[in-house]
């Protein structure tokens, strides 16, 4: 009798405690972010403990209230505790007997573990009329498996019956279900039916999961596809940059495959300013390192992508360098262009000197004797000149021309009145000496005229020289003009033809320096200096016996 009275007192105390906790609506219960979703089948029964393990186990000095928000009514209602009801709860466990489609909804567990403190846990329940893949618990994709646990009998006492692909597996009532020597034939949907009692009535709960046996493959060494070792990435300080590390591990059994970025040997996982993202595809793992803002410290550091599996560890290094400013590039281009112009100008200004210097070396090395006696045959107007023009011409021929070309540079020139022999036939002499000369120097003077009808020596040597240069093409011509000339219409047609193709070299009074631009241009058109030099004695003898009829 005393025992019965004690039980009644305890029940009344618990009822009062529950009522006081439930009515205390001023307390805001904490709700975890995670929600539980449960898929069940109509016709079965549900034994649903509180989703939180501590809530389920610590029932002493705790109070529970269960609510439900059915999808059909959209209203929140409190669940009762009467054992005779189809839906009721006892402490931390909710019972829903003989499930039907209307039981679909949200079920809320309110757990009071102190007078002013409580937690709420939500469970979304979905009731299916027939079996569907949504009822499956997580798929087991394994290379080798030894057993399968029943997901619905963990917190309830009951007997278990196992099915494979909805066919009974005889003589298998243990948990877990043993699968010796698992292979591809072991694949399928395994269902356990847990039979448990509630107030002497038997109820069934079932759970199914799919088993997939993966093929074993051989492990290979990882290969880093990106980036290239010791590569350089050009960046701007303060900008965002993404470094990509791609490693191929192969279609392998990879127990410890990992990939990570390091900075100076320190892992960057969780470091502010650095973010790593991972992607997996067809045996390749990518690690994307995002540097939100490149700093000067990053430019002085070495970044490394490290990849490893259960056998080997490899890594590649990457350095960041400051990207060259566009202004610097423009300035560099401008400076390069100015230097190019300067070099081109210098080369153009000194090109003549360079050609003369190199020609003097190479032509002397590879020169072949051509049988010529003179470097140039000098032709100029000697008659019908006024006094000033005659003096200018004489000063140029006997002064600057001989001084620079012969005395200074060592050329051999043939000049009438100096190099002809006394009593020799002047016509034959002209033809012979022109053939023995490598160049013709024709000197043009202003207000000069050539008598085309007469056969004077000065007109004859011009005719022979023009024939030699224009018709036979054996002798080069150097045209030198003394002073300014309005036109060349008074000159022979052959000479006019030469002037139309090549402008004459203009000589000005006082331009007697051997290194002047004028004499360099004359030397450029002259051949290389003859190796044979005449003696001063020979010159003086010939000068004493001028050719009859010629003036110097």
Residue at which a domain ends, from 128, 154, 189: 128
Residue 1 placed within a domain: no
Residue 22 placed within a domain: no
DSSP type of residue 47: E
| Predicted structure pTM score | 0.40
Residue 147: domain span: 136-213
Same domain, 420 and 504: yes
Residue at which a domain ends, from 188, 213, 238: 213
Same domain, 413 and 392: yes
Beta bridge partners of 444: 481
First to last CA, the chain: 169
- The DSSP bridge pattern shows strands 63-70 and 76-78 to be antiparallel
Same domain, 390 and 539: yes
What is the per-residue burial (b if ≥16 Cβ within 10 Å, else e) of 136-159?
beeeeeeeeeeebebebbeebebe
Instruction: Label residue 371 left, alpha or beta by phi (over 0 means left) and psi (-120 to 50 means alpha).
Output: left
Same domain, 508 and 446: yes
Mean pLDDT for back-to-back runs of 10 residues, the chain (552 residues):
40 43 62 85 91 84 90 86 91 91 92 87 91 86 83 82 91 85 87 90 91 71 82 85 84 70 83 84 82 86 84 83 78 89 82 75 67 87 80 85 87 83 73 87 73 51 82 83 82 85 83 82 80 39 33 26
Same domain, 165 and 259: no
Same domain, 275 and 424: no
Same domain, 55 and 76: yes
Residue 21 placed within a domain: no
Same domain, 178 and 263: no
* Burial category of 287 from C-beta neighbours within 10 Å (exposed 0-12, middle 13-18, buried 19 and up): buried
> What is the C-alpha to C-alpha distance for residues 200 and 185, in angstroms, rounded to an integer?
40
Same domain, 406 and 491: yes
Residue 17 placed within a domain: no
Instruction: Give the pLDDT confidence score for residue 253 in this predicted structure.
Output: 54
Residue 20 placed within a domain: no
Q: Yes or no: say if 382 and 458 are a contact pair by the CB < 8 Å rule.
A: yes
Beta bridge partners of 77: 68
DSSP type of residue 203: E
Same domain, 380 and 455: yes
Same domain, 240 and 209: no
> What is the C-alpha to C-alpha distance for residues 59 and 63, in angstroms, rounded to an integer?
7
Instruction: Give the pLDDT confidence score for residue 122 in this predicted structure.
Output: 92
DSSP type of residue 374: B
Residue 4 placed within a domain: no
> What is the C-alpha to C-alpha distance for residues 190 and 151, in angstroms, rounded to an integer?
11
> What is the C-alpha to C-alpha distance for residues 11 and 179, in angstroms, rounded to an integer?
48
Residue at which a domain ends, from 345, 367, 389: 367
Q: Yes or no: say if 59 and 91 are a contact pair by the CB < 8 Å rule.
A: yes
Which residue from 441, 445, 443 is spatially nearest to 385, judged by alpha carbons? Answer: 445
Instruction: Give the pLDDT confidence score for residue 17 in this predicted structure.
Output: 42
Residue 531 placed within a domain: yes
Q: Yes or no: say if 161 and 174 are a contact pair by the CB < 8 Å rule.
A: no
DSSP-assigned states of every residue in 296-347: HHHHTSEEEEEEE-SS-EEEEEEEEEEPPPHHHHHHHHHHHHHHHHHHHHHH
Q: Yes or no: say if 302 and 210 are a contact pair by the CB < 8 Å rule.
A: no
Residue 8 placed within a domain: no
Q: Yes or no: say if 494 and 466 are a contact pair by the CB < 8 Å rule.
A: yes
Same domain, 124 and 141: no
Name the domain count of the chain: 5
Tokens representing residue 159 in the block: 């007997």
What CATH number does the domain containing 268 carry? 2.60.40.10
Contacts of 347 (CB under 8 A, 6+ apart): 354
Tokens representing residue 109 in the block: 């567990």
């Amino acid at each position: 009798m005393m025992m019965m009275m004690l039980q009644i007192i305890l029940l009344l105390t618990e009822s009062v405690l529950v009522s006081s906790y439930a009515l205390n609506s001023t307390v805001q219960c904490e709700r975890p972010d995670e929600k539980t979703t449960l898929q069940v089948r109509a016709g079965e029964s549900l034994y649903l403990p509180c989703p939180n393990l501590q809530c389920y186990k610590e029932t002493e000095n705790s109070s529970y209230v269960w609510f439900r928000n059915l999808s059909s009514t959209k209203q929140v209602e409190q669940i009762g505790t009467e054992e005779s009801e189809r839906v009721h709860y006892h402490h931390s466990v909710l019972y829903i007997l003989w499930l039907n489609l209307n039981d679909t909804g949200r079920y809320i567990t309110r757990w009071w573990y102190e007078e002013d403190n409580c937690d709420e846990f939500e469970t979304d329940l979905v009731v299916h009329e027939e079996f569907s893949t949504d009822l499956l618990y997580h798929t087991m994709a394994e290379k080798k498996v030894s057993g399968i646990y029943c997901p619905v009998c963990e917190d309830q006492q009951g007997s278990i019956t196992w099915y494979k692909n909805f066919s009974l597996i005889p003589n298998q009532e243990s948990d877990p279900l043993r699968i010796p020597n698992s292979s591809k034939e072991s694949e399928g949907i395994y269902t356990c039916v847990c039979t448990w009692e509630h107030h002497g009535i038997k109820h069934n709960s079932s759970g199914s999961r799919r088993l997939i046996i993966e093929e074993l493959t051989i492990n290979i060494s990882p290969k880093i596809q990106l980036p290239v070792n010791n590569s350089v990435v050009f960046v701007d300080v303060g900008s965002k940059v993404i470094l990509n590390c791609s490693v191929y591990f192969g279609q392998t059994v990879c127990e410890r495959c990992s990939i990570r970025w390091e900075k100076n040997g320190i892992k960057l996982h969780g470091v502010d300013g650095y973010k790593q993202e991972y992607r997996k595809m067809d045996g390749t793992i990518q690690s994307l390192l995002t540097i939100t803002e490149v700093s000067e410290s990053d430019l002085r550091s070495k970044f490394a992508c490290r990849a490893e599996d259960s056998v080997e560890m490899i890594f590649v290094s990457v350095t960041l360098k400051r990207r060259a400013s566009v202004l610097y590039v423009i300035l560099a281009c401008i400076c390069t262009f100015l230097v190019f112009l300067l070099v081109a100008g210098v080369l153009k200004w000194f090109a003549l000197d360079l050609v003369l210097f190199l020609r003097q070396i190479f032509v002397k090395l590879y020169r072949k004797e051509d049988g010529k006696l003179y470097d140039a045959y000098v032709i100029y107007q000697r008659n019908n000149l006024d006094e000033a023009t005659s003096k200018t011409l004489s000063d140029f021929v006997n002064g600057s021309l001989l001084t620079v070309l012969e005395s200074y540079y060592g050329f051999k020139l043939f000049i009438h009145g100096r190099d002809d022999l006394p009593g020799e036939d002047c016509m034959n002499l002209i033809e012979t000496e022109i053939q023995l000369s490598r160049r013709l120097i024709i000197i043009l003077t202003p207000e000069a005229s050539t008598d085309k009808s007469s056969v004077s020596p000065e007109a004859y040597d011009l005719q022979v020289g023009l024939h030699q240069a224009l018709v036979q093409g054996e002798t080069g011509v150097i045209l030198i003009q003394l002073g300014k000339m309005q036109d060349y219409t008074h000159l022979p047609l052959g000479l006019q033809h030469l002037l139309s193709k090549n402008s004459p070299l203009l000589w000005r009074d006082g331009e007697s320096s051997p290194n002047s631009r004028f004499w360099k241009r004359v030397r450029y058109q002259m051949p290389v200096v003859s190796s044979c030099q005449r003696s001063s004695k020979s010159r003086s003898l010939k000068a004493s016996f001028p050719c009859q009829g010629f003036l110097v």
